[in-house]
Chains A and B, each alone.
Chain A
Amino acid sequence: MTSQPYRLAEGGVIDRTRPLTFSFNGRRLTGYSGDTLASALLANGVHLVGRSFKYHRPRGILTAGTEEPNALVQLEAGNRSIPNLRATRIELYNGLSAASVNCWPGVRFDAGALIDAVHRLVPAGFYYKTFMWPQGGWHVYERLIRRMAGMGRAPEGADPDRYERTNAHCDVLIIGAGPAGLAAAVTAGRSGASVILADERGQPGGSLPDVASDGDVTGTSWLGDTIAELQSMTNVRMFTRTTVTGYFDHNFLIAVERVTDHLGPGAPAHLPRQRLWRIRTSRVVLATGALERPLVFANNDRPGVMLAGSARAYVNRFAVLPGRRAVVVTNNDSAYEAALDLHRNGVEIAAVADLRAVPVGPAAEAAAAAGLNILRGHAVVDTNGRRRVQAVHVAGIGLDGSLTGPVRALHCDLVLMSGGWSPAVHLFSQSGGKLRYDEMLGAFLPDGSRQHVLCAGAMNGVAETASCIVQGQDAGKGDVPAASEPTASTVDAHWPIPARNRSGEVRQFVDFQNDVTAADISLAVSEGYQSVEHLKRYTTLGMGTDQGKTGNVPGIAILAGSLGVPLPAVGTTTFRPPYDPVTFGAIAGRDVGPLADPVRQTPMHAWHAETGAVFEDVGQWKRPFYYPLASETKHDAVARECMAVRRAAGIMDATTLGKIVLSGPDAVRFLNRVYTNAWGGLEVGRCRYGLMLGEDGMVLDDGVTARLAEDRFLMTTTTGNASRVLAWLEEWLQTEWPELDVYLTSVTEQFATVALAGPKARAILTGLTSDIDVSAEAFPFMSWRGGHVAGFPARVFRISYSGELAYEISVPARHGLELWAVLLRSGPDYAVTPFGTEAMHVLRAEKGYLMVGQETDGTVTPIDLGMQWILSTKKDFIGRRSLARSAMLDPLRKRLVGLRTEDPELVLPEGAQILPTAPSGPPETMIGHVTSSYWSGALRRSIALALVKGGRDRESATVHVPLEGRTARAEICDPRFYDPEGLRLHG
């Protein structure tokens, strides 16, 4: 076979001096620079490019643009691969490799095509009807369905390409660089406005190269002059290969620029593959053109059946003949222009079947003058051919839609169809714009938006290029474009075109990608799906990756016909972003890998990392979880760290706890309102534990607050809640109590904090300070002292979360690492052991101390936790009134208890459910769940905390905890497992 046998010798925008080789389904082919994959395939006579989604029918190339439903391919292999790209949108580059999707083992023989043979078994709503029973069966069916129906394959590894996200602002954003958009841009640009002109193609010009009009203002001179003028304007930016895909409130739009997709893997490394633009603009001009619709006749989906305007684009733009002998079927004038262009380039036009009894329009007249065989009041009623159309059947069609006269067969290898044009109103609709149905044009047109947006050109219902330019000029000025009278004749509606043989299965496709037929729509209507939104979801009409760009209006017309109502009464489905699929890469931009989320590290982080700490993520912080020695397991390391704290001393990096300074004369009043306990009596130099509630009475956070001065406090929060608590306090101060003179300052990152805990803590600290008296009398529990530790200015707080004698030492952050090192060097004498958060969790659980977020989940009150002692009765505080609601006082609320498993070795899983009796089969009575559970080295047994209905009223009762394959028994007990009198802590 000669290379590119369907390529014309001249014409088109392709560059014949730059031939390119590519492969499709493993076959090596050639094309030219300027081709799309689709045009290059057609130049080589390849029409069969894929299989349909549901019935696996052979499919070809229907369109020449973004609206393509059929020609989906998997581009490239490996981790750069992208599934389900439209061949009509892929710009050819040298070495390109693509393959069909949705067929196995290959596109020419596909096992799934057997489904087509049992078509009757796969009606509309098939999945809903078949796979929802028996209950739970879906997960079995789904795997089978996915294997047969899966489209492309997602790459399995990380995407090696780089993507970017960036912002742009302008006065006027013009979408679409066809005649209307170019005219708008040049007009707006001359006014001095800052303009962005975005177009999805590689070059501006819109459909002008598709139609190759000659002589009038749309000739290449106008196009070239306009582009040159725009390029000379510094206030105009032209974005090519940029699809505006989302239109949001306040004129905020999202566009995707395919920066190097057209260059393939050989693209320069400094450029991103794609760039996501976030554009805010004062005004928008939509010049997005119109999309041609198919006609709905039997077997209208065979390869070789193409939209007329698209075939015209292949001839004029790409110099490719999509066939040798064509039959045209149309309900409007535009297909005649396509027929004439193909005729002029040597394609034999077997016939033009016009559904209209009296074709009107300049092109129809020109076609008649050129001697084309025009069949008035005729339709194509069927097609033949397996992998490529070979013949069509035509018959007369009456005004009432009935077929008249004999059915004739016409041989052909190409069918051009035109069901009229749908203005591309998607973005307009996304903007909140309303649509109206125009009977003359048979199309939904823009009809007013709440945003500053103007519509021009074909998307506004204008067909002639000169009129598009006038509308663009108006819109570019900021004026609403004047309407223009259509010159083409009215489109008749035959939705669907009747089949010649109504018995048996008739496949008249409406949505090619999702295999929705006219019969599916009728069936759905007869089953009661009468709203267009319900129809869409039931039949999947318009729910493919093409979002039904070609089939939507025919589908609505068929629905209206089935319901016996006029089309506007049905309305359209809501167009939603994205207009065009967006890659995950473009959405993520550079927020991937280590940049996906900020990482916060303490000043001691380097030491933790070098020592081999295992880290735990707490919010954005990296906290040492435990420090395993050589071959230690997590269990061993945590047990060792706990014992070190209980027997000698350990240090923990507590820098991440939130720290907020409250200053101002009203600080005490403020604390009294946000904490449950009273703060007036706290002396300077003392600390107090506080519990913070939401106004609903549920525990929000806890922590220790120290009085630094008469009018200054230092509040600590849990690590995960630091910013939330600051925001919470700010909200109350700003919105409810602006009269309070209090200022809040976050100082979390200004200080490094080390918790020094264990019986030897005092001795260690004594050796490190000369100006702080650390004796038990001079420095009692719940107080703080300022001075120096290891030579660094420090605040030392005598507080404990482990139940041991403990100090928290805060120094300026820059000294944190050194303080840590000094504390460790005191090791030989006192065996200071670094311990991580898991040991801290165990130590506090042994003491029965709550951990916010573990024992609390937003539904737990202080009463539930047995903490009535911290609820002041002498003042109001946030959440207090809620605690008095009757439901909060229910004795059967879940309350905090301890659990001792019968088997002391068994550590219950956290989250396990608790039953009052041995399980007897579902439904079980569940009375609570395990919140914390650990192995306690100090007690040589497992311990657990739990929230259980009735709480301590059940003390000593045996409860049952169902586990996988067995049930554990446990006894409800006091949650204070270790040193309940607190002798060690006060020591």
Chain B
Amino acid sequence: MLLISCPWCGQRDESEFTCGGEAHILRPADPDALSDPEWADYLFMRTNPKGRHRERWCHTHGCGRWFNMERDTATHDIVSVYRMGEAPPDDRDGNSS
């Protein structure tokens, strides 16, 4: 069971959290401009990497806040945790992905 650092509450057990899947998927500003396949891509398609992955998590049984987390899906190492709206730490260092 992961030990997750909520940006608002600190370290808590994974059982207090809900994983919301891949992070940084923006809802298209004008959905009508998208073709059916493009819309389906937004709706259904997600990356599934072995290794570093950015995900949204919610501290459901705590403060109720959503935040982002970069996690290694193979080792379960948590690389970083950052608040909604913040750029991923790697990007802030200029290592844009």
A residues whose Cβ falls under 8 Å from a Cβ of B: 248-252, 280, 432, 450, 695-696, 727, 730-731, 734-736, 738, 876, 880-882, 884-886
From A280, A696, A735, A882, give the contact of B56 (CB < 8 A): A735
Residues of the B chain whose Cβ atoms lie less than 8 Å from the Cβ of A734? 65-66, 84
B45 proximal to A (CB < 8 A): no
Chain B residues near A696: list those with CB within 8 A: 43
Complex interface residues of chain B between 1 and 32 (CB less than 8 A to chain A): 1-3, 13, 20, 26-27, 31-32
Q: Would A250 and B3 be within 8 Å (CB), given that A731-B58, A735-B66, A735-B84 are in contact?
A: yes
Given the complex of chains A and B, what is the CA–CA distance between A251 and B60 in angstroms?
23
B64–A252 CB distance below 8 A: no
**Known A280-B13, A731-B58, A735-B56; 19 more pairs at CB < 8 Å:** A250-B1, A250-B3, A251-B3, A280-B3, A432-B75, A450-B75, A450-B77, A730-B66, A731-B66, A734-B66, A735-B20, A735-B84, A738-B84, A738-B85, A881-B31, A881-B39, A882-B39, A884-B32, A885-B40
Nearest CB of chain B from residue A170's CB, rounded to whole Å: 14
Contact at A885–B39, with CB atoms within 8 Å?
Answer: yes
List 15 A–B pairs whose Cβ atoms lie within 8 Å, in order of A's numbering: A248-B1, A249-B1, A250-B3, A251-B3, A280-B3, A432-B75, A695-B43, A727-B58, A731-B20, A731-B66, A735-B20, A735-B56, A876-B31, A882-B39, A886-B36
Residue-wise interface mask of B (27-50) relative to A, using a CB-CB cutoff of 8 A (1 in contact, 0 not): 100011010100110010000000
B66 in contact with A250 (CB, 8 Å): no
The interface residues of chain B lying within 8 Å CB-to-CB of A731 are: 20, 58, 66
Cβ distance A731 to chain B, nearest Cβ, rounded Å: 6
Q: Which B residues between 53 and 97 are near A, CB-CB below 8 angstroms?
A: 56, 58, 60, 64-66, 75-77, 84-85
Docked complex Cα distance between A252 and B13 (Å) = 9
- Distance from B84 Cβ to chain A, minimum over Cβ atoms (Å): 6
Q: A881, B34: Cβ atoms under 8 Å?
A: yes
CB distance from A949 to the nearest CB of B (A): 22
Which residues of the other chain, A, contact B43 by a CB distance below 8 angstroms? 695-696, 882
Instruction: Please name all residues of chain B whose beta carbon is closer than 8 Å to the beta carbon of A249 when the two chains form the complex.
Output: 1-2, 76
CA distance A886 to B31 in the complex (A): 15
- How far in angstroms is the closest Cβ of chain B from A280? 7
Residues in chain B near residue A250, CB distance under 8 A: 1-3, 76
Give the distance in Å from the alpha carbon of A393 to the alpha carbon of B89 in the complex. Answer: 71
Bound CA–CA A738/B66 (angstroms): 11
Which chain A residue has the least Cβ–Cβ distance from B44?
A696
Contacts of B34 in A (CB 8 A): 881
Q: How far is the CA of A731 from the CA of B25 in the complex (A)?
A: 13
Q: Which residues of A contact B66 (CB under 8 A)?
A: 730-731, 734-735
Cβ–Cβ contact A252 & B77, under 8 A: no
What CA separation (Å) do A334 and B76 show in the bound complex?
41
> Which of A280, A736, A881 has most chain B Cβ within 10 Å?
A881
Contacts of B77 in A (CB 8 A): 450
Which residue on chain B has the smallest CB distance to residue A881?
B31
Chain A contacts for B27, CB-based, 8 A: 695, 736
Determine how close the nearest CB of chain A comes to the CB of B68; give it in whole angstroms. 9
Residues of A within 8 A of B13 (CB): 252, 280
| B76: nearest chain-A partner, CB-CB | A249
Q: Which residues of A contact B84 (CB under 8 A)?
A: 734-735, 738
- Which chain B positions have C-beta within 8 A of A886? 36
CA distance A649 to B58 in the complex (A): 45
Which B residue sits closest to A885, measured CB to CB?
B36
A432 CA to B56 CA in the complex, in Å?
A: 25
With A432-B75, A695-B43 known as contacts, the answer to whether A252 contacts B31 (CB < 8 A) is no
Residue of B nearest to A737 (CB): B27
A730 nearest in chain B by CB position: B64
- How many Å from the CB of A216 to the closest CB on chain B? 42
Tell me the bound Cα distance from A696 to B60 in angstroms. 24
Q: How far is the CB of B66 from chain A (nearest CB, A)?
A: 4
Output the nearest chain B residue to A736 by Cβ-Cβ distance.
B27
List the 9 closest A-B pairs by CB distance, nearest first: A881-B31, A250-B3, A252-B1, A734-B66, A249-B76, A450-B75, A735-B66, A248-B1, A250-B2
Q: Which residue of B lies closest to A249 (CB)?
A: B76
Chain A residues with CB under 8 A of B75: 432, 450
Q: Which residues of B contact A248 (CB under 8 A)?
A: 1
Name the residue on A nearest B28 (C-beta): A881
In the bound complex, how far is the Cα of B58 from the Cα of A249, in angstroms? 19
**B57 CB, min distance to chain A CBs, angstroms:** 11
Shortest CB-to-CB span from B75 to chain A, Å, is 5
Q: A696 vs B43: C-alpha distance in the bound complex, in angstroms?
A: 7
Which residues from A are CB-within-8-Å of B39?
A: 881-882, 885
In angstroms, how far is the closest chain A Cβ from the Cβ of B59? 11
Bound Cα distance A734, B34 (Å): 25
Task: Say how far B14's CB is from chain A's closest CB, in angstroms.
Answer: 8
Docked CA distance A838–B25 (Å)? 43
Please state if B64 and A880 are interface contacts (CB–CB under 8 Å): no
Q: B12: shortest Cβ distance to chain A, in Å?
A: 11
Bound complex: CA A735 to CA B83 (Å): 10
Contacts of B40 in A (CB 8 A): 885
In the complex, A611→B15 CA distance in Å? 40
* Most chain A Cβ neighbours within 10 Å, of B26, B27, B34, B77: B27
Q: Which of A249, A432, A735, A876 has the most CB of B within 10 A?
A: A735
CA A727 to CA B66, docked complex, whole Å: 10
User: CA A886 – CA B40 in complex, angstroms?
Assistant: 12
Complex CA–CA separation, A832 to B64 (angstroms): 43
Bound CA–CA A720/B58 (angstroms): 21
Q: How far is the CA of A696 from the CA of B40 in the complex (A)?
A: 9
* A503–B36 alpha-carbon span in the complex (Å): 70
A734 and B27 CA atoms in complex are apart in Å by: 13
A731 to B39, CA, bound (A): 20
Cα-based distance from A882 to B34 in the complex (angstroms): 11
CA gap between A390 and B21 in the complex, in Å: 65
Q: Distance (Å) between the CB of B64 and the closest chain A CB?
A: 7
CB closest chain-B residue, reference A878: B27
Closest CB in chain A relative to B23 CB, distance in Å: 9
**Bound-complex Cα distance A450 to B77 (A):** 9
Q: How far is the CA of A876 from the CA of B26 in the complex (A)?
A: 15
A83 to B27, CA, bound (A): 55
Measured CB to CB, the nearest residue on chain A to B34 is A881
In the bound complex, CA of A817 to CA of B1 (Å): 44
In the bound complex, residues from chain A placing their C-beta under 8 Å from that of B60 are 727
Residue of B nearest to A450 (CB): B75
A886 to B39, CA, bound (A): 12
Most buried by B among A734, A880, A884, A885: A734
Please measure, in the bound complex, the distance between the C-alpha atom of A727 and the C-alpha atom of B3, giving whole angstroms.
Answer: 23
* Shortest Cβ distance from B65 into A: residue: A734
**Once bound together, how far apart are the Cα atoms of A885 and B34, in whole Å?**
11
* Bound: A736/B56 CA distance, A: 12
Nearest B-chain residue to A432, judged by Cβ: B75
Residues of B within 8 A of A280 (CB): 3, 13
Alpha-carbon distance between A248 and B13 when the two chains are bound, in angstroms: 12
**Could you tell me the distance between the alpha carbons of A852 and B40 in the complex, rounded to whole angstroms?**
25
Q: Which residue of A lies closest to B39 (CB)?
A: A881
Q: In the complex, A876 Cα to B1 Cα: how many Å? A: 40
Which residues of chain B have C-beta atoms less than 8 A from A730's C-beta? Answer: 64, 66
In the bound complex, residues from chain A placing their C-beta under 8 Å from that of B36 are 885-886
Determine the distance from Cα of A731 to Cα of B32 in the docked complex, in whole angstroms: 23
A-side contacts of B65, CB under 8 Å: 734
Complex contacts, B85 vs chain A, CB 8 Å = 738
- How far does the Cβ of A98 sit from chain B's closest Cβ, in whole Å? 36
- A320 to chain B minimum Cβ distance, whole angstroms, is 42
B34 CB, nearest partner CB in chain A, Å: 7
Docked CA distance A893–B32 (Å): 23
Minimal beta-carbon separation of B45 from chain A (angstroms): 13
Give the docked Cα–Cα distance between A92 and B86 (Å). Answer: 62
The minimal Cβ–Cβ distance linking A698 to chain B, given in whole angstroms, is: 11
